[in-house]
Amino acid sequence: MKLRLNHFINIVKEHKHIIVILLLFSTAFITRILRLTHPPHIISDEIYYVVAARSLISTGSDPNLVHPPLGKYLIGLGILMFGDNSFGWRINGAFLGSLISPLVYLIGKKIWHEKVGILSGVFILIDPLTYAMSCIAMLDIYLTFFITFAFLAFTYQRYFISAVFFGLASSVKFVAVFSICGVVLYLLYIREWRLIRLFVSVPIAVFFVIVLPIMFIEGIGKWSAYTLFYLVWSFGLNVEHPFASRPEGWLFNIKPFVFYRNTCDLIAVANPYLYLLAIPTSIYLIYLAIKNKENNVNFTEILPVLWFITQYGFFFLLPRTTQFIFYLLPSVPSILLLTARGIEISVEKLLKKS
C-alpha cells in the first residue's frame, strides 16, 4: 500500500504541470458551460455578432464591418457545431475563455516561477470580468485568448507563433495593435531590432489572410471604404449610453456593464481588490529594470508591465468617449500576473523582516 502511494505521489510530482493545467481549465470550463443557456435568447451586444455570424454562414457576407471577422467566424463555428441557439452562440467563447487561466499559469511560471503561475492562474479562474465575458457571444473573450497566447509564445521565445497569434487577435478587434506596441517597446528596450520587423509584418499578413474572403465577397473597394469609415467612427464615438465609463474608472469597478438581470445576472465587473495591486508592482518592476539595465539581467518580467501599460493605457488616448468596462478584459491577464508577483514580493519582504 505504501509503495503504491509513493508511486502515485511520484507520478503527481512528475506531471504536476499537466495536472495544474487540467485542473484550471476543467474548473473554468465547468463553471462557464453550466450557464451558457441562461438566458436562452440574445442579450445586449450579442445581437451584432450573432446576426453577423449567421450571415457569414449563409452568404459569406459580414454585415458588421466595425470589427474584423475572426471572432464572428468562431461564433458561427459554434452555431454549425451545436445549432443556432444560445449554447451554440456561446460555447467557443466559453472554451477559449477557459483556456486563459492555464495560459496565464504557464506565463507566470516561465517569467517567475511555479507559485506566481499558480496564483495568477487561480486569480483568472475566479475573475468576475473574465467569467462574464466567457459566457456571452461577444468578441472580447476571443481577443483576450489570442493576445494571451501570443504573450505565452513570446515568453517561450516562439516568436513566429507569437506574431501569428497577434495577427489573429487583430483579426478579432483592431485594438490588439495596442498589445503589439507593448511587444515592440520591449524589443526596443532589449535592442532586438530584427524581431521588430517580424511583429509588424506577420500580424499584417495574417490579418489580410483572415479578411481576404470578406474583401472579395464585399468587394475590395467597398470593404476598404466601410472598414475605414467604421474605424474612424468607432475610435471617435461619442454617444450617450447608460453603462458608458471612462478608462480611469475601470480598475475601480466604476460603472459595471449589465448584460442581463434576472434570477441569474450577467454583469461585467472588475475586481479592484486585486487589479489595483498591479500598479505598485508595475512601478517596482520598472524601477528594477532601469536599475539593472547595464547588468545583463533577464528583462522578461517587464513584459507583463508593457502589456498592461499599452493594452490598457492606450484607451486613455482615444478620442472616443463612449467606452465600457469590458474593454479592460485583454489587459486582465497581465494585471493578475502583476498582482500575483506583487503579492509574492510583499510576502517575501514580510518574511525577511520577521
Residue pLDDT, tens place only, 72-91: 999 999 999 999 999 999 99
In this prediction, residue 7 carries a pLDDT of: 47
Report the half-sphere exposure of 22 (CA within 13 A, side-chain side).
6
**Helices 86-111 + 16-33 axis angle, to 10:** 150
**DSSP assignment string, 169-214:** HHTT-TTHHHHHHHHHHHHHHHT-HHHHHHHHHHHHHHHHHHHHHH
Q: Give 17's strand partners.
A: none
What pLDDT does 320 receive?
84
Tens digits of per-residue pLDDT, 196-222?
Answer: 999 999 999 999 999 999 998 888 888
Residues of the chain with pLDDT under 50: 7-8, 296
Contact predicate 278/343, CB 8 Å: no
- Give buried/exposed letters for 272-297 (b at 16+ CB in 10 A, else e): eebbebbeebbeebeeebeeeeeeee
The position carrying cell 449563409 is 58
Rg (CA), the chain: 21
Cα 240 to its chain centre, rounded Å, is: 27
Burial class (CB in 10 A: 0-12, 13-18, 19+), 117: buried
d(CA 9, CA 135) in angstroms, rounded, equals: 36
How many Å apart are CA 197 and CA 205, to the nearest integer?
12
Helix (H, G, I), strand (E, B) or coil at 42: coil
Residue 242, helix vs strand vs coil: coil
- Amino acid making up residue 215: M
pLDDT at residue 263, as a whole number: 67
